[in-house]
Amino acid sequence: MTHATEDNITDLAVDRWSTAHDPRLAEVMASLVRHLHDFAREVRLTEEEWLAGLQWLTRVGQISDDKREEAILASDVLGLSMLVVQMNNRFGPGATPATVLGPFHIDGSPAAPYGWDMSEGIEGTPFFLTGTVRSVTGEPIPGAVLDVWQADADGTYEAQLDVDEARLRAKYQTREDGSYCLRTIVPLGYAIPMDGPVGDLISRTDISYYRPCHIHFLFEEEGYERLVTHLFAEGAEYLETDVVFGVKEALVTPFVAQEPGEAPDGTTVDVPFVTATYDFVLQPTESAAD
Ligand code: BEZ
Ligand code: FE
């Protein structure tokens, strides 16, 4: 019988976890054990540090619920989310790139007709976004659903509030020619939640804990790769220092200030407003391309 020593414990633990019934689970767990042990050896982890780390993980769990996703936030600020996004969304040239989902998406947003104002009753500068949803091969995708969510002009998401109705989120659909139009308000760049264990850790560093102004989109079209992405406002603060590493050049687009007058949806707006245009380009799935 082999008892554990400092020298053999990694091999013993790797062997044990390699017995996972699912081969992929065996591969993932064996590698995780190896890297965790290497990490502990590399930094010569003390017992106090080990316990502090476990207590931090406990707090991540304790503060989480169906709206507060502290574990996703932890993964985001460590750059892990974006690494996984990059490895798993290698689209061809011309396709709209993916970025982080973030912790604030809510399922089941209401369907919204062309031009619908998803910010009704919420203060802010009116914002109109128009464009098309197309395939990388060029053809428009009629009936494509844009699942949209964003922060308000204070940088707050519905998921951070106690509200019963959908707030600043909706599912728009493209018309026959692939065009879409949504009305909302200009969101604000915002600080990630700093009142939990992730914030505690960040506040002990020089890391900027802000995200630049953006709107989130999710596409799940049959025949196309799932796309989780954002649009960022050109020239916005924090584009260079996004705390979750989510900015990509192709997702930065001008938000253009307009004088009161006719808006892209044909209505008249009697206050200054902002417009942007963006064509989302979806990557056909491999089986669809065959
Ligand atoms: C967001 O964009 O909603 C977000 C993403 C990652 C961490 C926090 C917020
Ligand atoms: Fe966001």
pLDDT, tens digit, for every residue of 77-121?
999 999 999 999 999 999 999 999 988 999 999 999 999 999 998
pLDDT, tens digit, for every residue of 146-204?
999 999 988 899 988 888 889 999 999 999 999 999 999 999 888 999 999 999 999 99
Give the ligand whose atoms come closest to the C-alpha of residue 191: 1
Domain extents in the chain: 1-45, 80-289
DSSP 194-249: -SSHHHHHHTTS----EE-SEEEEEE--TTB--EEEEEEETT-TTTTT-TT----G
pLDDT value at residue 288: 53
Residue 278's contacts (CB-CB under 8 Å, 6 or more residues apart) are 129, 131, 231, 253
**Environment class of residue 195 by beta-carbon count within 10 Å: exposed (0-12), middle (13-18) or buried (19+)?**
exposed
Residue 283's contacts (CB-CB under 8 Å, 6 or more residues apart) are 91, 92, 95, 136, 224, 225, 227
Closest ligand 1 atom, residue 211 Cα: 2
Give the ligand whose atoms come closest to the C-alpha of residue 214: 2
Give the rounded distance of the alpha carbon of 80 from its chain centre.
12
The owner of tokens 């707030």 is 167
Closest ligand 1 atom, residue 104 Cα: 3
Closest ligand 1 atom, residue 230 Cα: 2
The Å distance, Cα 119 to ligand 2 centre, comes to 16
Q: Whose CA is nearest to atom 5 of ligand 1?
A: 102
User: CB–CB of 66/200 below 8 Å?
Assistant: no
Q: Whose CA is nearest to atom 3 of ligand 1?
A: 102
The Å distance, Cα 191 to ligand 1 centre, comes to 9
Give the mutation target among 68, 73, 207, 239 for probing the ligand 1 site: most ligand atoms within 8 A of CB.
73
**Secondary-structure class of domain 80-289 per CATH:** mainly beta
Instruction: Give CA torsion, residues 96, 126, 148, 120, to 10 deg.
Output: -170
pLDDT, tens digit, for every residue of 197-230?
999 999 999 999 999 999 999 999 999 999 999 9
